[in-house]
Amino acid sequence: MVRELNDADFDPGTGVGAVLVDFYAPWCGPCVAQGAILEALAAELGGAAQICKLNVDVNPGVARRFDIRSIPHLVLLKDGEVVRTFTGLQDATTLKHALRDVL
């Protein structure tokens, strides 16, 4: 399951373990496609890693902090530290490999 984050719970929600965060907006076509890929990936990975999303229109604080300038934009964190970023639509295989590298 992909968990929705907001400005208030972002830091506690990403501080432990491997977390992939999708910065998105509901009006963005590639973001919708990315969301479907992430839902399938979350189901496949089970609890091995967290997959989360953050609506940049509703939560500009975290988006500004990460200097998000285009969406979809994904950030992979390990124990709250940025490990890797992805800009644009990413396929499941690329994301699986990145997650497995930090697990």
**Catalytic positions, please?**
28, 31
Q: Tokens standing for 83?
A: 């490990």
Q: What residues contact residue 70 under an 8 Å CB cut-off, 6+ apart?
A: 87, 88
Contact yes or no for 12/6 (Cβ under 8 A): no
* Distance, CA of 90 to CA of 25 (rounded, Å): 16
* Distance, CA of 2 to CA of 89 (rounded, Å): 17
